C-alpha cells in the first residue's frame, strides 16, 4: 500500500471548451484531461471530470470506431429519437424548442461524471480505458469542468 | 488555471431525510445540497451526494415536468414493473416482500451518486443542471448523505 | 453537522486482483474495500473504487441471489449477446478477437466507478447497500483500484 502524509493540499479547477461536429459523437478526451492534470502538478489525489450540460455524457470505456458505432446503435434502440411521443418535445407540455428529450434521457443512462485517482503523477486508468465525451445533441460548444484535489 | 495551496482541510458529513410521496417521483434537491455546502463553509473542494438506499437514484439533469414524465416512461419501457417474471419478487426465490425488483434495476441504470466540484464557494453546475433525486419505490422516508472535502 | 479541521492529509492507493469464474458474474466486494479502508487508517474522507477494465462494472446495490439473476436477465434483454450485428465483433470493422461488444455496452450502462464518503472510520453505506463488482466478459483476472483521500 502506497501512503502519503503531507501538509499542503492543492485544489485546482479548470474548464475547457470543445466544439462537437455532429448530432451524436464520441470523442476521446483523455489527453486533454491528462495535460490539465500535469499542469496542475498534483501527484496523488482525485480528479473529477464533469460536463456542465444536460444533453451530453462522460464515461470511461475503450475508444474504438466500431464500438462507438455499436454504442450509437444501442442508444437509438433503447431511447429512440423520433416517434416516442416525448412530452419534452411537445409544445403543449414544454417550452423547449430543441426537441431533444432523447438527448436528455441518453445522458441520464450514460452518466455525466468521471472520478479517477491520481497516483504517482498519473491517472489511474487501465490499458484500454479512455475518458470519453459523448455529444448527444450537437453540434454545439460544450464546457467540460475538471476538479483536481490532492498533493 | 485556479490553484489553491493551503494547510487546513475540512471534511464535513451531513445526512438529510426526505419523504417521498409517490411510487416514482423526481425531486430537485439542488437547494438543500447548496445550503449544506454553504454551512460547511468549504470554498474549494469536492462534494459527494450518495443515497443510502438501493431503490432510489441520484443524478444530474434538467428539472422540467415534461422531461420527468419522459424519464418515467423510459424507465417503464426499459424495466417494466409487472409481468417480467422477476425472481426477486417471487417467494420461491426471494424473501423480499416489497416486490420491488424493478426499483432496484432502475436504480442500477440511473446511478445513486453525484460528485461535484466546489469552486469559489459555488457548486460547479451548468445553467440547466440540477441535482435530482429519483424515488423508485415510494412513498418512503429516505436518507441522503453528503460528504464535503476541501478548504 | 460533523466537521473536522486538520493539517495532515493522507492519499492512499491500493489495487487488488480478483478472478472471476463465469462469463457474467456479480460479486460483493464490500468486505475487501472495507479492509483496505481500515488498513489505510483514514477516518474522514472520500473513497473511490474504479475498475481498470472496459468490460466489467462497479456499482452499489443490494446483494441478493434472486436480484442478481434479474439483473443478468435485464442486461440480456437491453443489450443482447448475439444476433445484434455488433460492428465491434465483426472482423470487417474491428480487430477485437473477443467478440465482446455486449460486454462493453453493458459496462457503459452500469458504470465502472463507486465514490463513497468515509465518516467516523466507516464507509457511508446504507443497511442494504453493498459494493458490487459485475464481471461482464469472464472468466478473467481483474484489477480493482481503490483511492482513499482524507484524514
| Cα–Cα distance measured from residue A122 to residue C86, given in angstroms and rounded to the nearest whole number | 33
pLDDT, position A146: 98
CB-CB under 8 Å, B46 with C128: no
| Cα–Cα distance measured from residue A55 to residue B70, given in angstroms and rounded to the nearest whole number | 14
From the CA of A53, how many Å to the nearest CA of chain B?
Answer: 6
Which chains sit next to B, with 3 or more Cβ pairs under 8 A?
Answer: A, C
What ipTM was reported for this prediction? 0.93
pLDDT, position C110: 97
| Cα–Cα distance measured from residue C27 to residue B70, given in angstroms and rounded to the nearest whole number | 33
Confidence band (pLDDT; 50, 70, 90) for B20?
Answer: very high
* Chain A residue numbers touching C79 (CB-CB < 8 A): 74
pLDDT, position A82: 78
Which of A3-7, A36-40, A89-93, B7-11 shows the lowest mean pLDDT across its residues? A3-7
pLDDT, position C82: 78
Strand partners, A3: C12
pLDDT in tens, B119-131: 999 999 999 999 9
Backbone dihedral region of B54: left (phi > 0), alpha (psi from -120 to 50 degrees) or beta?
A: alpha
Contacting residues for C97 by C-beta, under 8 A, at least 6 apart = none
pLDDT in tens, B98-117: 899 999 999 999 999 999 99
pLDDT, position A61: 97
Q: What are phi and psi of C76, to 5 degrees?
A: -60, -35
What is the radius of gyration, based on Cα positions, of chain C? 18
Which chains sit next to A, with 3 or more Cβ pairs under 8 A?
Answer: B, C
C69 pLDDT exceeds 80? yes
pLDDT, position B53: 97
pLDDT, position C8: 79
Which three cell numbers, joined as nine digits, stand for A102?
Answer: 432523447
pLDDT, position A3: 53
B44 pLDDT exceeds 60? yes
* Chain B residue numbers touching A147 (CB-CB < 8 A): 46, 116-119, 124
Average pLDDT, chain A: 94
pLDDT in tens, C70-92: 999 999 999 999 777 999 999 99
Give the one of B45, B64, B126 whose C-beta lies nearest to A11's C-beta.
Answer: B45
* Chain A residue numbers touching B45 (CB-CB < 8 A): 11, 149
Amino acid at each position: 500500500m502506497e501512503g502519503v502524509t503531507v501538509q499542503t493540499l492543492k485544489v485546482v479547477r479548470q474548464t475547457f471548451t470543445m466544439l462537437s461536429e455532429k448530432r451524436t459523437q464520441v470523442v476521446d478526451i483523455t489527453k486533454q484531461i491528462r495535460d490539465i492534470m500535469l499542469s496542475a502538478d498534483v501527484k496523488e489525489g482525485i480528479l473529477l471530470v464533469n460536463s456542465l450540460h444536460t444533453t451530453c455524457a462522460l464515461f470511461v470505456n475503450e475508444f474504438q470506431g466500431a464500438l462507438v458505432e455499436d454504442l450509437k446503435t444501442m442508444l437509438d434502440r433503447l431511447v429512440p429519437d423520433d416517434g416516442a411521443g416525448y412530452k419534452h418535445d411537445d409544445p403543449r407540455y414544454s417550452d423547449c424548442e430543441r426537441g431533444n428529450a432523447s438527448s436528455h434521457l441518453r445522458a441520464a443512462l450514460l452518466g455525466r461524471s468521471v472520478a479517477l485517482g491520481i497516483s504517482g503523477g498519473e491517472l489511474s486508468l487501465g490499458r484500454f480505458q479512455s475518458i470519453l465525451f459523448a455529444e448527444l445533441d450537437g453540434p454545439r460548444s460544450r464546457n467540460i469542468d475538471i476538479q483536481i484535489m490532492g498533493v
